[in-house]
Amino acid sequence: MFKLVLIHQSDERAYHFLKAERELTPPLKGKIEFHSFDAWKAGKADKKQLMNAVEEADFLVLLLHGGLAWFPEFSELEEKVCHKKPFFFHSEMEEEVCQLQEKSGLLPEEYQKIAEYYELGGTGNFQNLIAYLLREFGNAEVSFEEPVPAYREGIWKVPECEEQSVLQEADAFEGPVIGILVHYLNALNDDTAHVAMLSEEIRKRGGFPLPVVSTMQPTERTEGLSGMIRRYLKRDDGSARIQGLIVTTGFSMTMLASPGKGREDAGESVFTGLGVPVFQAMTTYFSYEKWEGSTQGMDAMTMCSNIYEPELDGQIITSVIGCTEVRETEYGKMNRIVPVPDRIEKLAGSVVNWGLLSLMKSSEKRVAVLLHNMPPRMDMLGCAYGLDTPESVFQMVEVLKREGLTLDRDWKDGQEIIRELTEGLMNEFGYLSNEQIKERSADLMSEEEYAGWFEGLPPSVREEMERVWGKAPGDFMTLEKNILIPGIRNGNLFIGIQPSRESAEKAEGVYHSMEHPCPHQYLGYYHWIKEVFGANLIYHVGAHGTAEWLPGKSVGLSASCYPSIVLDELPHAYPYIMNLPGEGTQAKRRASAVLISHMVPAMKESGIYGDMEVLEDKLEQYENAMEFDKSQGRGLLEEIRKVAGGSLHLLSEEEIRGFFNEPDAIVNKLHSRLEEIRHSQIRDGLHVLGKIPEKERMDHLLDFLELGGGDRRDLIEKVLKIPEELDAVINAFHGRFIKPGASGCPSRGAYEALPTGRNFYGVHPFQIPTREAWRSGEKLARQLLHKTVSDLGKAPEAVTIVIYSGETMKTYGTTIAEVLYLYGVRPKWFPKHDRVCGVEAIPAGELDHPRIDVTLRVSGLFRDNFPNLMELLDEAVNLAASEEEPDEFNYIRKHINRDIRKLISRGMEQEQARKQASARIFSCPPGQYGAGINLLISSGKWEGRKELGDAYLAWSAFAYGQGREGIQMADSFADRMKDSQVVLKNLSSVEEDLLDSDDFYNYFGGAIAAAEAAGGSAVSYTVSSSDGKEEQIRTTKEELERLVRTKLLNPSWIQGLMEHGYRGAQEMSAMFDITFGWDASTGNIDGWVYEGLVQTYLADETLKEWIKEQNPWAVHNMSGRLLEAYGRGMWDAEEESLTLARDIYLEMEGSLEDMG
C-alpha cells in the first residue's frame, strides 16, 4: 500500500487534489492509503496524528501557498523528511522552494513534472499526478496522462479565434485601455465575480477592460506572465497596448514570472518594460462582515501576499476588492471571492484616472502640489524631513513646465514660491481681518457645496465628524460658513498647504477622548482640489504629511476610512526620503501613493568651536607642562576647570568638586568628550530634489555614504543618478511606471536603496529578526544590562522599550532581538534563510542574566506593519513566564503571578486575569496614531509634566498580541510603567537623532513622563551611533546635551542650513520647539542650553537678522518658546537673556501684525 500524505492550506489546488483522490477509480484507490492535513490545524489538534502519518509516508505533498511562516511545525518535520523520503513542496516564496527542492529526494525532472501537474491544476491533472506518484515512487503498474492546461491562457472569456479582433478594438479605443491580470485558477474555478464587476466598472468610467488569464509561472505548456505581457499587453512593436494594469492575484509577479530565482536574483520588475502603472487589487481571507468590522483591515497572510510581496514589483497598493466566502463541499472547503462593489468602483476610477494621464495633452493636465505644515504655523510651511522643500518644489515646477504644464507666470526660485504662499492665506492667520482673509484665500467653498458632497459620505463618518467638529462645515478654518482654501494658483498648477489636522482648542481633550477625525475643512480642502480645481494628479512633497495617518483601518481601507475619503480616486505621487521606510510604506498602503525616493542630506563631522577650542588648547598646554614644566600645571588646571565646568558645562558638579583629587583622570575624560563631539556626524544642510551636491558638500556626502562600507567609485556612480528623482516626478505626470527599489540607511550599508528616484518598499515582516539582527540585539541587551548594573547596582527587573516601525525595518529587527534576549527567548529560523518560524526559551543554564520583564510601547505604524511580530513577542512573554524558575531569576513570571493574584482578589476569573496580567505590548487606540504629548505641548494647553504623563498613559493603554486587538487596559499599562526601572529607545542609525522631530519626545519623552506620572522612578537611556561606526548607550540627558553641542549651538550646522533660506531658518525654529518638548516631557534640558540658544540665535545680530529676512515668523517662535519656558519655570533665565527674548518677541509681534 502506497502511503501518500498531503499537507495543505485549504486553497483551490488543495480542493482539487482532495476531489481527485476521492474520485479515483477503484483500482487506483485500492493501492493508496491517503492522509490529508490542514496546515492551519495541524499544529494543534492533529499534531500527533500528523507526525505519525509523516513518519510512515512513502511520499509527502506540501502545498503551503503562503509559505513556511504559516506552518511552523515544518521545523519539526524537517528532520523526518529532508534527504530521507521523497516530498514535493510548493509555496509562493521562491527562496523556500529553491532550498527545499535540493532536499526533496527528487530528480530535477521529477520535481518539474510534479510542479507542472500542480501549476496546471484541476481534478484531472491531480488524478494523473497521483497515478504518476504511484508508479514512480510506489512501483505500481499504473498508467497516467501528461499534465495539460485545464483552462486556456489568453483573454478571459474570449475564444482564441476572436482574440485578434478584441486586440484591434483595444488599439482603436480612444480612452484608457486597462489590463486585468486574472489568475488561471480563478478562471478555472469560475471564481471571477470580482473580475466581471471590475471590468464593467472600468467600462462605466470610460475605459476599455482587457482581462487576461495566466498561470503567472511559465510551464512547458503555458507561457506564464511574461508571455501574456508580450502577447496581449504589448503591441507587435513592443509598445504598451494598455495605459494601466490591475493585478487581481497576490505575491510578487516578478518572482512568479522567473521561477527558480530568489528575491535577490529576480532582477528588475517584470513590469518595467511595460512602462505603465500597475495596481494590486487586494482580496482578503476575511469575510465581508469581518473585514468591515476589522481595524486591521486584512489578515496577516494576505498582507504578505497582497502588500509586502507586490510592493517589490512596484505595484500601487489599492483597495480590498474581494472578501472570502468559505463553502463546505463534500471534498472539503472551497473559498470563493465575494466582490466589494464600492471598493471596486474606487479602484476602477483610480486606474482610469492614472491611465488618462498618459493620454491627455500635457497643457490640459491640472496638478496639485501640497506642502506639509506641522505645526500649522507661518514658520513651518513645507517642513519635510531632510528636504529643502521650497527649492525642491521649484525644481519640480521647472521640469513639469518643460513637459508642457500650463503656467501663467514663472518663479525664479523656491524662495519666491514661499514668499507668494506666505503673502496669501495660511493655516495660521491671527492678524488678518475678514476682508483680508477672503482676499488672500485661493478660493472659498460654500456651505452648500460642501454639504452636498458631505451628505454622500457614510453615515458613521458624518455622525463622527459632526459630533467632534459640529454641523458641517463647522467653525474651524471657515469664514461665514465658507471653507477656506489656502494656497496659490498658477495656470494649471495649484500649490497648496496641507490642512491642519487639529485645532488648539481640541488639543487639551486628547486624553479624555480618542475620537480623532480631521476637521471639516480638511475634507473640504481635498474635495476642492479634486472637484473644483479639477486636479488630475497630486504630489505630496516630503516626509511626511497627515493624510495617510488619518483614522481608519490599518490597511485594506473601506469607504469610511478617512485617507480613502480624502484622496479618493486621485493619482498620488510622493517624493520621500529614502531612509524612512516605515512612514513611507504607510503612504503606499493607506493612501495608494507612488513613492519617489530621494537622497538623504549630506553629513559631516561636527568639529569643535568656540570655548571648546579654547579648552582643547588648555588641555594640550597642560599635557606639555606635565612633561616639561610641572610648575604651570596647577594654574592650567584652574583654567581648564573654569572653562570646562563653566561656559561649556562639560563637567558634572561631582567632577568639579573632585577635580583636583584626580586631575589626570578628568583631563582624560575631557579629551574623550571633545573627541566624541568632534567626530559626531551632523547634517550639512538639506537635500534638494534631483540636485547633485556640489564641491565640499559632495565630498561630505560621499564620506558619509562610505560609513556603510561602500566603494567610493560605485557610490559616485549612484550619486550622479540623483537627477532620476525628477525623472520619476515626470513619469508620474505622464502616468508612467516608476521603478521599484529598496529603502534604508546608506550609512548602515543599505546601498541597494541607491540610486534614488525609486518607488521604494520595506522589508518582509517574517524575516524579522534576521540572524545578523539577533547577534546585534544580543549585543545591545548585554550593553544595556552592563550599563544598568553600573548605574543602578543591579540588573533591572522591569524595562520599557519604545519601538518604531521604521527602525525595525532599517535594522531588520535589532530591537526585537534585544527584547527577546532580555526575555531569555530566541527566534527559530528555517534552515538557510532568515524566515522566522517561532521562538524557544533559552535554557536557564545558558543565560548569564535573569529574565527581564520588558514592556513594549510600539508605534501605531509598528502595530499596522508587524501584526506577526506582536504575536511572536506575546508568545515569547508567555513562553518565558511558563519557565518554572525562582522569582529572582524570572522577573516576568514573578510579576505576572503577582498581578494574577491581585486581579483574582478583585473578582476576575483566572483565565481572564492571566491574559490581562501577561499583556506586555501596548500602543495607541485601534485606527489611531500618536501618543498625545505633542498635541498638548504645541497647543500650550497643559499645566505640568504630570498632565503630559497622564495623556501618554491614556493614549498608550491599548494592549495587542495573541487574541488582543487594542483592548484598553489602563490600569495594567499604568502598572507596567510604574514597575519600569528603565525606559529605553534605540536609534537606528547616525542619520537620525532625538532632535530630528517631535516623534521622539512624543513617544519616548512621553514614556519617561508616563513612568513618573504612574508613580515610578525610571532612568532613561538612548542607544545611538554618534560617529556612524560604534553604537553607544547614554542617558537621555547625556545624549540630548551631546546633540545640543554638536548641532544646535554649532556654527557649522547653522552654516549648512543658511544655504536654504526660509527652510533653513525653519529648521532652526523647529529645534526650539523640540528642545522645549524634551524639557516639558522629561526635564532633561538645563538652563545653560536655553542661554546657549539665546546667545547663538538672538544675541548674534548677524544670524538673527538673516533669520528675520528669510523667515521672520521663526524669530517670533524662537523668542516665544523661550518666554514660555521661562513662564513655566523650566528656564531660570539670566536677566539680560530674558530681556532680550522679551524685546525681540514684542518687536516681532508688531512687525508681523504690520505684515498681516
pLDDT digits (tens, 9 = 90+) for 596-609: 999 999 999 999 99
Does any domain span residue 708? no
Q: Give which of 114, 136, 135, 134 is closest to 125, Cα–Cα.
A: 114
Rounded distance between C-alpha atoms, residue 386 and residue 201, angstroms? 41
Does any domain span residue 1065? yes
Higher pLDDT, 1156 or 951: 951
SS3 of 447, please? helix
Residue 1061 pLDDT exceeds 90: yes
| pLDDT at site 569 | 98
Does any domain span residue 761? no
Residues 942 and 813 in one domain: yes
Distance of CA 550 to CAs 563, 586, 930, Å? Answer: 6, 11, 11
Q: What is the DSSP string of 66-98?
A: T-GGG-TTHHHHHHHHTTTS-EEEE-S-HHHHH
Residue 510 pLDDT exceeds 60: no
Residues 341 and 444 in one domain: no
What are 960's strand-pairing partners?
Answer: 965
| pLDDT at site 1018 | 94
Does any domain span residue 890? yes
Give the number of C-alpha atoms closer than 13 A to the C-alpha of residue 482, restricted to the C-beta side: 14
Inter-residue contact 423 to 429 (CB < 8 Å): no
pLDDT digits (tens, 9 = 90+) for 948-960: 999 999 999 999 9
Residues 312 and 367 in one domain: no
Using the 8-state DSSP alphabet, how is residue 252 labeled?
A: -
Range of the structural domain that residue 619 is part of:
615-642+650-677
Residues 1041 and 1060 in one domain: no
Does any domain span residue 780? yes
pLDDT digits (tens, 9 = 90+) for 375-401: 899 999 999 999 999 999 999 999 999
Does any domain span residue 715? no
Rounded distance between C-alpha atoms, residue 774 and residue 776, angstroms? 5
Q: Give which of 316, 211, 314 is closest to 272, Cα–Cα.
A: 314
Domain boundary residue, one of 296, 325, 357: 357
How large is the average pLDDT for residues 259-284? 82
| pLDDT at site 506 | 64
At how many degrees (to 10) do helices 695-705 and 712-719 cross?
A: 120
Higher pLDDT, 102 or 924: 924
Residue 45 pLDDT exceeds 60: no
How large is the average pLDDT for residues 979-998? 95
| pLDDT at site 48 | 81
Domain boundary residue, one of 297, 329, 357: 357
| pLDDT at site 965 | 85
| pLDDT at site 259 | 67
Q: Which of 325-334, 907-916, 928-937, 1124-1133 has the lowest mean pLDDT?
A: 325-334
Residues 352 and 394 in one domain: no
| pLDDT at site 327 | 86
pLDDT digits (tens, 9 = 90+) for 402-425: 999 999 999 999 999 999 999 999
Rg from Cα positions in the chain: 31
pLDDT digits (tens, 9 = 90+) for 197-229: 999 999 999 999 999 999 998 888 899 999 999
Q: Judging by DSSP bridges, how do beta strands 443-445 and 482-485 pair with one another?
A: antiparallel
Residue 521 pLDDT exceeds 60: yes
Task: Residue 256: give its domain's CATH number.
Answer: 3.40.50
pLDDT digits (tens, 9 = 90+) for 1002-1012: 999 999 999 99
Cell numbers found for residue 32: 493508496
Distance of CA 971 to CAs 561, 919, 977, Å? Answer: 30, 11, 10
pLDDT digits (tens, 9 = 90+) for 1077-1114: 999 999 999 999 999 999 999 999 999 999 999 999 99
Residue 42 pLDDT exceeds 70: no
H or E element in which residue 481 lies: none
Cell numbers found for residue 1140: 532680550
% of the chain at pLDDT higher than 90: 80
SS3 readout for 636-672? HHHHHHHHHHCCCCCCCHHHHHCCCCCHHHHHHHHHH
| pLDDT at site 1156 | 67
pLDDT digits (tens, 9 = 90+) for 1115-1141: 999 999 999 999 999 999 999 999 999
Using the 8-state DSSP alphabet, how is residue 831 labeled?
A: T
Q: Give which of 545, 692, 602, 585 is closest to 386, Cα–Cα.
A: 602
Rounded distance between C-alpha atoms, residue 309 and residue 320, angstroms? 16
Average pLDDT, the chain: 93
| pLDDT at site 95 | 72
pLDDT digits (tens, 9 = 90+) for 465-509: 999 999 999 999 999 999 999 999 999 999 999 999 877 666 555
Residues 977 and 1126 in one domain: no
Band (pLDDT 50/70/90 cuts) for residue 261 is: low
Does any domain span residue 723? no
Residue 69 pLDDT exceeds 90: no
| pLDDT at site 511 | 45
| pLDDT at site 329 | 81
Tell me which amino acid residue 994 is. L
Does any domain span residue 422? yes
Residues 887 and 1016 in one domain: yes
Residues 799 and 842 in one domain: yes
| pLDDT at site 512 | 46
Q: Which of 307-311, 438-442, 625-629 has the lowest mean pLDDT?
A: 625-629
Band (pLDDT 50/70/90 cuts) for residue 835 is: confident
Residues 779 and 824 in one domain: yes
Residue 266 pLDDT exceeds 70: no
Residues 976 and 1061 in one domain: no
Rounded distance between C-alpha atoms, residue 504 and residue 708, angstroms? 43
Residues 625 and 527 in one domain: no
Inter-residue contact 472 to 906 (CB < 8 Å): no
Rounded distance between C-alpha atoms, residue 337 and residue 326, angstroms? 9
How large is the average pLDDT for residues 445-472? 96
Band (pLDDT 50/70/90 cuts) for residue 257 is: confident
Band (pLDDT 50/70/90 cuts) for residue 82 is: confident
Inter-residue contact 474 to 441 (CB < 8 Å): no
Of the ranges 96-100, 692-696, 761-765, 826-830, the best mean pLDDT one:
692-696
Residue 1028 pLDDT exceeds 80: no
Task: Residue 106: give its domain's CATH number.
Answer: 3.40.50.360
H or E element in which residue 455 lies: none
Question: Scanning the structure block, which residue is given the C-alpha cell 516601525?
Answer: 805
How large is the average pLDDT for residues 860-870? 93
When divided into structural domains, the chain yields a total of 6
| pLDDT at site 260 | 57
Residues 621 and 562 in one domain: no
| pLDDT at site 264 | 52
| pLDDT at site 629 | 80
SS3 of 1060, please? helix
Residue 232 pLDDT exceeds 90: yes
